[in-house]
Amino acid sequence: MPVKAEETQSHRNFYYPPGGLLMWIVILLELLTFGIAIVIMLYYAGEERALFHTSAAKLNRTIGSVNTVVLLTSGYCMARCVGLFRTGTIKQSDRQLLYALMAGMVFLTLKSVEYGQKAAEGLTLGENTFFDFYWMLTGFHVIHVIIGMVILIYWKTTRSRRTDEEAMQHLEAGAAFWHLCDLIWLLLFPVLYLIF
């Protein structure tokens, strides 16, 4: 059964964005946290330019680039999932949700490969300032991707117990968090892999 636009939009305005105000407060706080960490990292990069340059060159840019495409694709699938669910096209919506989750798994798999490479080379926490930031920032991002996947799987498994409008609100909240993961990676990828 499609979710009627007037039902979902009747209470929507600046004070109630898609996914709910609380989710957007969480998103803003997360972006602020990552933003502050990136600014601090850039400060240290200014103090230790040669170290950051040689350390960043040891990252696997191919995996980083592929993971960027993977996360952007997952974000597109998630947006399609929401749009299709809104129109009542549930099977296609579920398929897009599955694609988004599969892309999340591909991201985590590739990140695990990269982590394994770095660990095998001895480039772990404590190696130097660059790799301290690399492990903390990417590790915190990986945790967000896992949380995002759990939120979406939980939504899928509990959807039938909710009204269409409640399910739509919860899906929008999950999608907003999922897009947060994309946005964080779009901040981290150039800072870690490209600018040094």
Q: Quick one: pLDDT at residue 12?
A: 54
pLDDT of the residue at 8:
46
Task: Determine the straight-line distance between the first and last CA of the chain, rounded to whole angstroms.
Answer: 51
Q: Where are the domains of the chain?
A: 19-194
Query: Looking at residue 137, what is its pLDDT?
Result: 97
3-state SS of 36-87 is HHHHHHHHHHHHCHHHHHHHHCCCCHHHHHHHHHHHHHHHHHHHHHHHHHHC
CATH number of the structural domain 19-194: 1.20.120.80
pLDDT in the model for residue 23: 86
The pLDDT of residue 113 is: 98
Q: With contact defined as beta carbons under 8 Å apart, do 191 and 42 qualify? A: yes
**pLDDT of res. 194:** 92
Residue 6 pLDDT: 47
Q: Would you state the pLDDT for residue 132?
A: 97
Which stretches in the chain have pLDDT values below 70? 1-16, 161-163
Size of the chain in residues: 196
Q: Within the chain, where are the H helices?
A: 5-9, 21-47, 49-56, 61-86, 90-120, 129-158, 164-189
Distance separating alpha carbons of residues 70 and 67, to the nearest angstrom: 5
